């Protein structure tokens, strides 16, 4: 075991898209666990869009912002390498929130024992928080019915890819929007989407209308911006919009671009549309067990396929995260921090 703990710290609050200089690589001695604590070694680190909100001086309300000079937050797959905890043993594999660093101390709170998994990193993606977001948002809020049309942006991302596949499992049509022809081809040929529009195509909005001849019954919202503009006129009476994010606006310090509020309200009211925001951390107590059972079965049977975009080395996390906010990843983005 190394005696040095590398950490990626938040060095500055970003103005717009984060820059490499907004992060700083720091080292410190590996901490020693006290009574009731364990020392965790990070194996995999999850990179997710919500982290951009936590880089602001004032947080988004559902989580505390990251203070300057402290490690970036993030979910991890970690190995217990030293334990002075009565119920946790050395060698156990856990799902943790150890953040962007090699090692972290924990009192055991918030740790989920994973057992030995063939591909542990999946617990950060389709078998973890992103997959759970798709599960709760689509099934509990979107409630797709057979024959209905479900539209999801970022269709090959960690959340969107699962949304489309779950829509198909429920007998609905799945129409995706993704950034690039290769991603769209993957959505249709591998994930089973009925159609996928390349948002880099200048005529993609017209293509979306053609792909949804009977309108849109469920729109899984995580992007906002021009995608929402194209979706609004296609929404059917009684459509549902689960809202888990709006990544196209995350890098804006103040509102910019067109004012979409009047058009949004003028669509929601006469069409009796239900738009519901949700924070996935609110649903773990009641729904996570069912998710684990269902998703574990679907992945094992091949009914849901999962794709990862793995980058190597903790030092690669800042550049990979910046790329994530620009849509460069293909699948769930994880950092392999250490070989197990």
What is the rounded average pLDDT of the residues 150-174? 97
Report all structural domains of the chain as residue ranges with CATH numbers, in order of start: 4-125+306-336 (3.90.180.10), 129-280 (3.40.50.720)
More confident residue, 327 or 184: 184
C-beta atoms surrounding 111 within 10 Å: 21
What confidence score (pLDDT) does residue 203 get? 96
Q: How much is the pLDDT for 259?
A: 81
For residue 61, the model assigns a pLDDT of 78
CB 313 within 8 A of CB 45: no
- Residue-level pLDDT at 257: 66
Q: Residue 38's pLDDT band (boundaries 50, 70, 90)?
A: very high
pLDDT above 70 coverage of the chain, percent: 97
The whole-number pLDDT of residue 250 equals: 65
Query: Average pLDDT over the chain, rounded to whole?
Result: 94
Share of the chain above pLDDT 90, in %: 88
* Per-residue pLDDT band at 252 (split at 50, 70, 90): low
Which residue from 75, 53, 96, 131 is spatially nearest to 331, judged by alpha carbons?
131
Q: Output b/e per residue, 37-53; b: 16+ Cβ within 10 A.
A: bbbbbbbbbbbbbbbbb
Does the structure show a pLDDT above 60 at 278?
yes
Distance separating alpha carbons of residues 231 and 217, to the nearest angstrom: 11
Which pLDDT does position 256 carry in this prediction? Answer: 60
Residue 291: which of 187, 137, 143, 182 has the closest Cα? 137
Place of tokens 């024992």: 113
Query: Looking at residues 12-19, what average pLDDT do you find?
Result: 94
pLDDT per residue as tens digits for the range 292-304: 999 999 999 999 9
pLDDT average, residue stretch 277-281: 93
**Are residues 198 and 181 in contact, defined by beta-carbon separation less than 8 angstroms?**
yes
**Nearest to 294, CA basis, from 177, 112, 169:** 169
pLDDT of residue 223 exceeding 90, the answer is no
**Most confident stretch, 235-239, 243-247, 278-282:** 235-239
Q: Does position 158 have pLDDT exceeding 90, yes or no?
A: yes
CA distances in angstroms from 105 to 25, 38, 210, listed in the order given: 19, 6, 53
Residue 233: the pLDDT is: 96
Gap between the Cα atoms of 151 and 234, Å rounded:
10
Structure tokens at 217: 């019954």
Query: pLDDT, tens digit, for every residue of 91-117?
Result: 999 999 999 999 999 999 989 999 878
334 pLDDT band, cuts 50/70/90, is very high
Binned at pLDDT 50, 70 and 90, residue 86 comes out as very high
> Residue 1: its pLDDT value, please?
72
Would you state the pLDDT for residue 255?
A: 53
How far apart, in whole angstroms, are the C-alpha atoms of residue 189 and residue 220?
21
**Whole-number pLDDT of residue 118:** 86
pLDDT level of residue 251 (50, 70, 90 thresholds): low
């Amino acid at each position: 075991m190394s005696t040095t703990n590398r950490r990626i710290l938040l060095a500055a609050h970003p103005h717009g898209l984060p820059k490499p200089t907004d992060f700083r690589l720091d080292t410190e001695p590996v901490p020693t666990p006290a009574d009731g604590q364990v020392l965790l070694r990070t194996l995999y680190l999850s990179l997710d869009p919500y982290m951009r909100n936590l880089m602001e001086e004032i947080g988004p309300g559902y989580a505390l912002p990251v203070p300057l000079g402290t490690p970036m937050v993030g979910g991890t797959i970690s190995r217990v390498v030293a334990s002075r905890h009565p119920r946790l043993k050395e060698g156990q594999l856990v799902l943790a929130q150890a953040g962007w660093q090699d090692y972290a101390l924990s009192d055991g709170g918030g740790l989920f024992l994973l057992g030995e998994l063939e591909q542990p990193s999946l617990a950060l993606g389709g078998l973890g928080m992103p997959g759970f977001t798709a599960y709760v948002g689509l099934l509990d809020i979107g409630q797709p019915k057979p024959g209905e049309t479900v539209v999801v942006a970022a269709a090959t991302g960690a959340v969107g890819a699962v949304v489309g596949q779950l829509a198909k499992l429920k007998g609905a049509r799945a129409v995706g929007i993704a950034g690039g022809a290769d991603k769209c081809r993957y959505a249709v040929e591998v994930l089973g989407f009925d159609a996928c529009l390349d948002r880099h195509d200048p005529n993609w909005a017209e293509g979306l209308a053609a792909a949804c001849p009977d309108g849109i019954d469920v729109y899984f919202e995580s992007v906002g911006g021009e995608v929402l503009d194209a979706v609004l006129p296609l929404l059917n009476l009684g459509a549902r919009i689960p809202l888990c994010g709006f990544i196209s606006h995350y890098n804006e310090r103040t509102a910019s671009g067109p004012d979409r509020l009047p058009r949004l309200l003028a669509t929601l009211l006469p069409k009796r549309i239900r738009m519901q925001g949700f924070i996935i951390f609110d649903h773990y107590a009641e729904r996570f067990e069912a998710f684990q059972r269902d998703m574990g079965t679907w992945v094992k049977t091949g009914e849901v396929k999962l794709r990862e975009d793995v980058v190597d080395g903790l030092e690669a996390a800042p550049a990979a995260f910046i790329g994530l906010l620009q849509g460069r990843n293909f699948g769930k983005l994880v950092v392999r921090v250490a070989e197990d």
